[in-house]
Structure 1
Amino acid sequence: MNIVVCVKYVPDATADQAFESDNTVDRVGVPGLLSELDEYAVEQALQLKEKNEAPDSVTVTALSIGPEAAADAIRKALQMGADSGVHVVDDAIAGSDALATSKVLAAAINKIGSVDVIVCGMASTDGGMSVVPAMLAERLDLPQVTFASVVESQGDQFRIKRDGDTATEIIGATAPLVLSVTDQTGEARYPSFKGIMAAKKKPLESYSLGDLGVDAGEVGLSAAWTAVDNTEARPPRTAGTIVTDEDGSGATALTEFLASKKFI
């Protein structure tokens, strides 16, 4: 069984965020890391391998698109236990929307070869659109089982539990397929020292758009169906309102404040 897990290099949420002059996210000047939601995807891919009757026959490949620094996201997946990595890096990709991203991912997966399961996180922590797995399934003409909170498999048969606001669905499909998982699937493992050292010897290939046969004119900001018109910094936090309750009027003042903000 061949498993590809899609991982994304995203800006660190704890760092000061910045934008380029074209209003795209600065992915070079801001520290980045493997998207937390994609760590759950890596974990589920590794569990599929470990639970297989012949785990040595299962390969897990971490696939990412992004600048040179995005290789760090792949290395984190390798440290967790993935067997190999593929990095699609090309300046023309910068500013791509979800449609273009799914196009490049699909081309990379086709180049990797025969793939049985593609595992994705439920969303990226910097975009949060949650549509790339579905688009990827459409481009690859594969069934999709998405937003899984529980994943079960036996051979090429997969069954997931999807939790909605009002109901829980049980969905089944036969591999090859696209699977996306939520943060309810279980904690992602931490890389061990052994895993960190072993990752240094694992193969990590780099592809350009030319290697994938993708026209540069079909990706990037100029080809995006959506664009950000303007960005502005969040205003500084102002001092809060302090109510001194000396005469028993504190409750009334609090109620009036909440009502003025339409909280009650």
Structure 2
Amino acid sequence: MKIIACVRQTPDTETLIKIQPDGKSIETEGVKFVLGPFDEYALEAAAQIKEKHGGEVTAVCVGPDKVKETLRHCLAVGADKAVHVTGLDSDDALAIAMALAAQLKTMGADLIFTSTKGADSDRGVVGPMLSELMGLPYVGLVGDIQVEDGGKSVLCKRDIEGGYTETIRCQLPAVICAQKGIRGEPRYASLMAIMKAKKKPIDSVDVSSLGANGSGVHVNLEKMEYPPQRPPGRMVEGDTLDAKIEELVRLLRQEAKVI
């Protein structure tokens, strides 16, 4: 099977993010960028399917030159090849989806994985956009996937409202949005795998050569700002336990207005 994992590089969730004075970007100095935590599950699912059914996994990422570090990591944890799509000076989801679609059409694939959402943008729309642009079936928020019919279809399970599980059989090729835990926890890269990944080539493709130069940009970033600070904790006063409970109920009803 020919499997593609569309991945995204995001700031490490442990990193302290600082907004630039222009209010439209973050300070990148000292910030560690990693493979998005949700993308790790998409790549792990792709790697496990390859190991069970054969084939190859290619990781594809759109972004600046620094995303090559993330692609190296992908090569160390299951990807056989890596493609870096360059030249797109935009974080607009539609522009990214158009660039991915243009590149993937040149590659061909039986199964395309995307993540639920980017840990930084929290949008979760590139996968559906990609499937529409490529004219392929799409299954979102997949928590389990099994390949059937000799690689001609997949059986997907996903959680839906009310605590139910929905089962969908989908013909391939298709775009699958991987939910956290789709095939267990992502693997760690061994030292040997890291060393081998450093020697593997990364193919670079300029978006202009694909005919997708960002003309799909419809969303522009106007302003970034920090969330409001949380108020400090408050101790409930009272001479007795009953008095404290009474005061707590009063606060919840009159100030917090949650009861």
Under a length normalisation based on structure 2, what TM-score does the superposition of the two structures give? Answer: 0.89
Identity across matched positions, percent: 33
Residue 159 of structure 1: CA displacement?
Answer: 0.8
Change (3 A) 1:70 1:27: farther
The answer to whether residue 122 in structure 2 is matched with residue 125 in structure 1 is no
Partner of residue 140, structure 2:
146
Superposition pairs of residues 44-193 of structure 1, within 5 angstroms? 44-52=45-53, 55=54, 58-90=55-87, 93-111=88-106, 113-154=107-148, 155-166=151-162, 167-185=164-182, 186-193=184-191
1:200 to 178, 198, 205: 198
C-alpha deviations, 1:149-193, integer Å up to 9, x for none?
110102222110111012321111121111111003121111122
In structure 2, what is the Cα distance between the partners aligned to 1:136 and 1:21? 34
Instruction: Look up the equivalent residue of 2:98 and give its one-letter code.
Output: K
Cα distance in 2 for residues equivalent to 1:38 and 1:12: 13
**Root-mean-square deviation over aligned CA pairs:** 2.0
User: Per-residue deviation at 1:42?
Assistant: 0.4
Looking at structure 2, the residues matched to 207 and 21 of structure 1 have their Cα atoms a distance apart, in angstroms, of 33
Give the whole-Å Cα distance in 2 for the aligned partners of 1:201 and 1:116. Answer: 27
Structure 2: runs of 5+ lacking an equivalent: none
**Deviates further, 137-146 or 14-23:** 14-23
Does the Cα contact within 8 Å between 2:142 and 2:156 map onto a contact in 1? yes
- Counterpart of 1:240 in structure 2 is 233
Work out whether residues 119 and 180 of structure 1, in 8 Å CA contact, stay in contact via their aligned partners in 2: yes
1:89 is aligned with what amino acid?
T
What's the CA shift for 1:4? 0.8
Alpha-carbon shift at residue 16 of structure 1 (Å): 2.1
CA distance in 2, matches of 1:86, 1:71: 9
Cα distance between partner residues in 2 of 1:208 and 1:28: 23
Whether contact under 8 Å (2:35, 2:70) holds in the other structure is yes
Matched length? 252
Quote how far apart the aligned CAs of 1:97 are: 1.5
| CA positional deviation for 1:38 | 0.5
- Correspondence 1:4 to 2:10: no
Determine the C-alpha separation between the residues in 2 that align with 1:190 and 1:233: 33
CA contact (8 A) 1:23 1:228 kept: no
Structure 1 length normalisation: TM-score?
Answer: 0.87
Question: One-letter code of the match for 1:82?
Answer: A
Supply the distance in 2 between the matched residues of 1:162 and 1:80 (Cα, whole angstroms).
25
Alignment of 1:15-30 (within 5 A): 15-20=15-20, 23-26=23-26, 28-29=28-29, 30=31
The 1:237/1:126 distance shift into structure 2, 3 A limit, reads same
